[in-house]
Amino acid sequence: MKLLDISGLTKRFGGLTAVNAVDITIERGEMIGLIGPNGSGKTTLFNCLTGLYTADSGKALFKGVEITSMPSHRIAESGIARTFQLARVFHQLTLFQNMCIAQSHQGEKVIATPLQSSGAELGDAAHCWLDFVGLTGLKHEYAGDVSYGQQKLLEFAMVLMSDPDLILLDEPTSGVNPVMINKIVPLIWNLNQQGKTLFIIEHNMDVVMKLCQRVCVLDYGEKIFEGIPEEVQRNPKVIEAYFGY
């Protein structure tokens, strides 16, 4: 059974069709890239998959269950977690507190929870994932006081607290320097090697080509190509979408 099966997914905003009849399937354990020019519908597709937008037509099945009309917190509970283009962390909480509250952060809904660890298991998980992304030494710092790249790492670690079956990463390397990119890319690769399934929006083509086994390309809301990275790089439709020739 496919882990995620998107069929004919369409989202309109008035007269603008942002996502137009897109079909994408993802098998468990894959790492799939989603690329396309600015405004091609990539984040809109992610927003439909995570309940921030409701698709106008088509459907998405996750583990065989339709999630198209589910609220965001239900989708999160089903095993899908995501990051955003701009890191979303709680600036006035410490990194460790951010990790603990992540357990109750379902979609856009935050359920009241103690800011301190609610038990050894929660604390152990928070420390484990902070260590994974290299932020253990900053766990008592406020998230608003660390660098933007470190906030991106924190958001990434927060996503992992729920042990999701599918991780959606929206431009994980955007807005950070090359040194931080060289930290983030191996972490993503590591997760996939551990069996995690990832669906990644990314504008950095070097990152996409290094990480992804398969790449889907959107342009004006439509999927214009899908294939292995080498095929994407030389496909005429993809070249025209990016460079106009």
Residues in contact with 245: Cβ distance below 8 Å, sequence separation at least 6, in sequence order:
239
User: Percent of the chain beyond pLDDT 70?
Assistant: 91
Position of tokens 């253990």?
136
Q: Which tens digits make up the pLDDT trace of 7-41? A: 999 999 999 999 999 999 999 999 999 999 999 99
Strands (DSSP E) found in 14-102: 16-26, 31-35, 57-62, 65-66, 80-82
Q: What is the pTM of this model?
A: 0.90
pLDDT band at 104 (very low <50, low <70, confident <90, very high): low
Position of tokens 């999630």?
67
Q: Which tens digits make up the pLDDT trace of 138-156? A: 999 999 999 999 999 999 9
Q: Is the pLDDT of residue 70 over 60?
A: yes
In degrees rounded to 5, what are phi and psi of residue 85? -55, -45
Strands 222-227 and 166-170, by their bridges, are unpaired
Is-contact 163 191, C-beta < 8 A? no
**All domains in the chain, ordered by first residue:** 1-79+212-245 (3.40.50.300)
Q: How high does pLDDT run on average in the chain?
A: 90
State residue 112's pLDDT score. 34
Strands (DSSP E) found in the chain: 4-13, 16-26, 31-35, 57-62, 65-66, 80-82, 105-106, 109-110, 166-170, 197-201, 214-219, 222-227
What is the arithmetic mean of pLDDT over 34-57?
A: 95
Q: Is the pLDDT of residue 170 over 90?
A: yes
pLDDT band at 111 (very low <50, low <70, confident <90, very high): very low
Q: Which of 12-16, 228-232, 240-244 has the lowest mean pLDDT?
A: 240-244
**Torsion 210-212-213-218 (CA) sign:** negative
